[in-house]
Every structure is written in C-alpha cells, then in structure tokens.
Copies of this chain bind each other. A is one copy, B any other.
C-alpha cells in the first residue's frame, strides 16, 4: 500500500508534512540566533502581513500567544490598515518572498515609517529588507509554503517568548515536539489500525467537510484544515467558528426538501479542546445532537496533549496528514496547485 501511495506523491508532500516537529525546533533556533532588538511594549499594535501558508502562522501565533498586551492582527491583502504608523510593528511574512500582496504591504510600511521585521526564505522581500537594513528571519528554502509552516511558527514563538509571553517557552516547545514525534510514528503509516488521519480521510472521501472550532482558541487550526483540504486534497472545504455558527450557520443544517440534494454530502467535523470556554463545549455537544437528529453526518475530534500548545499542534498535524491521505484516495497529486499557478501566470501578464 505504501509503495502505491508514494507513486501518487512524487514531490514527497507526506514526508515534508511529517517534518512539522523538526521544523518547529529549527524555526525556534533561527529566531533565538537572530535576537533582534524588538521591545513590543513600545508599540501600539502588531500587524502580521501574509497570505495562505505564510499567513496561517500569524493566526496560530495569535492563538498561542493570547496573553500579549497589545492587539496582534493578521492582515491578508494589498493594503495596510489606516492606523498603521511608527507605533506599529509590521511582520511581513512571505515564504517565497515574492507574494505580491505582502510586498505591497511591506512598501506601505516603509512609507509609513512602521517598524518592520521579515520572515522569508528569499525573493524580493529578502532583497528589499537587506537594502533597508530590516531584520530578516531567514527560513530554509525549497518547500511548498504549506509544508514549511513549522519553520515560521517556530520563529514567531521564539520572538514573542523573549517578549515575556508566558504561554510558550523552550520546555513546552520541546515537550510538544516529542509528543508530535510519537504521533508521527503511528500516523505516518496508513496501514496502522491506529492511524487516525487515514481513518478520517476515509470518512471525508466524496463529501464536503465543514470544519468547526472555537474562534478564540482554535480558529487557525480549523482554517488550516480547510486550506489543506483545498490545496493537498483538491477538495472543497469550509471553516466556520463557534459560538458564531450557533447564531446563523446552524440553521443551514435544518433539513428540508429544498436542500435534500446535497444534505447527505455534507460532513460536520468538530475540533474540540478542553481549553474551550465551557459554554462553547456545551454548544458543540448540543449542535451535534441537533444535526444528528436530522440525519446529518458528524465527526468530533478531541485534542490530546498535556498543554494548550501540544493540543493545538495535535489537531494541526492530524489535519495536515489527513489532507495528504485524502489526496491519495482521490488519486490526485497533493503537490499539484495548477489553478494557483495559472492565476499567478495570468496576473504576471498584466503588471
């Protein structure tokens, strides 16, 4: 079975995805070695600029470092918010260094005299940052961005740990990495009957997965599941937050004749943390009951791990591997992102 699978993954996306724990350590050491002169207390807000796989590490850091004393905003687009100025710390994150939205924000940050740090493996972003003598956290090159997220996340955690965040330190990171490696020994073999990501992929196959998690504790992981299902599996998938979904989305699960044609193709996947507000945990339980009573399909996944960081990484790693296994089931190449490449070519034709 493994050999056949390898034939469907010529770029080795599975093995790159399995690097997550090692990438976290590498990113952490890159961050510590840089030791740049940043004192976040002197800023009014942090604006993290990036897209896709280079943005999600900002979302993850924002969840993990939720005790920061200033707003940490993730900005996905061409323009900085109007309030950005000398008291704003901009983090420009582009794995390739050539993401046009992030480069646009970078140049606006220069104009507005913001403080700027960069996270990249090269490209124009690295070049411009060198010209202007801005700190660059240099990531190893040669990965599809979505398989390099561990590097950037490790860098971010190391930067903000040194700024006094209490939720992450080297001990908790090392523990989480060991935990992930233990999971990898089971999860990287789909023939292992304990291989949870493979089991989930089997249930997702042929369906539209709707991922639900809490906005304040798990949003980045839920959204990562969605985007990995998109990019790796070539599947539609959506992410919606608790408790907000209880105020609207849940009504979309009320079964009636008009939506019967697609109702049974939807799959509710709930990502649950013991860290979630107890009322949100109740909401998740009640929501499942309602959907199941209407004959809807539901999977609930409870995070394991000794710390909040470990639990988030458990769910992240689970989704990453699941999306690769689903690509095998769909007989598509997980590395293939032809639509994105076509878009870039179309955009490049008109500058």
Contacts and interface: CB of A to CB of B under 8 A. Distances in A.
Interface of A: 44-45, 51-53, 55, 66-71, 73, 76-79, 81-83, 100-101, 205-208, 210, 214-216, 226-227, 229-231, 234-238, 240-241, 243-244, 246-254, 256-259, 261-262, 265-266, 277, 279-280, 282-283, 286-287, 289-290, 329-332, 336-340, 342-343, 346-347, 350
Name, among A73, A338, A343, the residue most crowded by chain B CB atoms within 10 Å (CB to CB). Answer: A343
B258 A214 contact: no
B259 A234 contact: yes
Candidate in A53, A81, A210, A229 with the most chain B CB atoms within 10 angstroms: A81
A232 B36 CA distance: 52
Number of copies of this protein chain within its complex: 2
Nearest to A100: B279
Given A51-B243, A290-B343, A339-B290, A248 B231 contact: yes
Given A71-B45, A73-B71, A340 B251 contact: yes
A340 B283 CA distance: 11
B243 A230 contact: no
Contact of A283 (B66, B243, B249, B347): B347
A212 to B, nearest CB: 12
B261 A234 contact: no
Contacts of A214: 77
Contacts of A265: 261-262, 265
Contacts of A100: 279
A127 B266 CA distance: 42
